[in-house]
Amino acid sequence: MPLELAIILPTLNERGNLGPLIQRIADVLRPVIGEDGWEILIVDDNSTDGTAEEGRNLARTDRRVRIIQRIGRRGLSSAAIEGFCATAAPFVAVMDADHQHDPALLPDMLSALKGDEADICVASRFAEGASTEDWAEPERQRLSGMANRAARLITGVKMSDPMSGYFMLRTSQALEMTPRLSGIGFKILFDLLATSATPLRVREFPLNFAARREGESKLDRAILFDFLAALYDKTLGHVIPTRFALFGTVGGLGVIVHYAVLGALFPGMTATFWKAHTLAVLIAMSFNFWLNNWLTYRDKRLKGFAALLRGWVGFCATCAVGGFANVAVATLLESQGVFWALAALAGILIGSVWNYALSSRFVWGRF
């Protein structure tokens, strides 16, 4: 039979899950579109457990399996986009490789698309008849509920689970939207719904959300940062570059730390403004390093005292020019009679521009 369906599996350390999942997919699709009517694209973010090599081993004996190993690129959304661009199948599905998504829904989703019953079919964790009993992660469920409410508000789509990671649509429709997708974070479905020029017709299929077969989830509280980035990109991203907005979000929290330290030191503990401001810059810079390590670069998070110390020194050295400009401008303005808080703000703005430019090139640029 001709190729009809491509299943994209974005992976990060899922070596042991691949073989059993591909067998499950084959079992449900064989009666519907035969042995050759489907393919699997494993898009791996350079896993450390040998997931890409396992994908190659499977592909050597099964021509329906293909592997895309990405070096220096991370994120589920961008992995799905690369999968859209790499297949010739007229229909494409995205699902997790950890066995939480049931392949048994694939035939019905494909049938609904072929019958033009919907533009996109979504496996919903919260539709009537669905179940999350085996999920056993109450905090993740609460976060998903909050994100779903925000996503419905932004997209205007009335559905129970716009943050689902398991869905299917026509490849041509995905490719038409691809140039406008942000590719940020982990929720590509939200990206598609928010990008479409016309509201998409959605059909939801109740999903019994299962427990992970093996391995550990790669998602933590930092997923909220990704979601906020995606929301920003879809609302104001055409005005201010999203990357700068992300940098500014972390920097904005650093400003609060900066003012807290400066307010405590000047004019209380010391009457010398430049000393107080310099110490505030150093503490805020250290805070920004910690938050960037936890959020912005969590996929390459530095761990251990030695690694953190080297990273902190490198980050401070990279931002030293911005810090110097910050202190110099603020001190000059304060000496000219400008209120100390306004002088500090001017210094922060100047320093932020420098820090963004240098960090983008010498710290983030390597990734």
pLDDT in tens, 42-77: 999 989 899 999 999 999 999 999 999 998 777 888
Q: Distance between CA atoms of 331 and 273, rounded to whole angstroms?
A: 7
DSSP 8-state secondary structure symbol assigned to residue 68? E
Check whether 367 has a pLDDT greater than 50: no
CA 102 from centre of chain: 23
How many Cα atoms within 13 Å fall on the side-chain side of residue 82? 22
User: Would you say how long the chain is, in residues?
Assistant: 367
Range with the lowest mean pLDDT among 136-150, 153-167, 263-277? Answer: 136-150
* Predicted TM-score (pTM) of this structure: 0.74
Q: Which residues of 356-365 are buried (b: 16+ CB within 10 A; e: fewer)?
A: bebbeeebbe
pLDDT in tens, 335-344: 888 888 888 8
pLDDT in tens, 61-120: 999 999 999 987 778 888 999 999 999 999 999 999 999 999 999 999 999 999 999 999
Which positions ≥6 away from 320 have C-beta within 8 Å? none
- How far CA 85 is from CA of 80, 92, 139, 172, in Å, comes to 9, 10, 35, 10
Domain boundaries, the chain: 5-235, 242-362
Strands of the chain, DSSP E: 5-11, 38-44, 65-69, 91-94, 120-124, 167-170, 202-206
Q: Distance between CA atoms of 123 and 145, rounded to whole angstroms?
A: 15
Tokens matching residue 160 = 């129970």
pLDDT-derived band of residue 270, with 50, 70 and 90 as boundaries?
A: low
pLDDT in tens, 182-219: 777 677 888 898 888 888 999 999 998 877 776 555 55
Which CATH architecture group holds 5-235?
Alpha-Beta Complex (3.90)
Adjacent-strand bridge partners of 91: 5, 170
Q: Distance between CA atoms of 249 and 252, rounded to whole angstroms?
A: 5
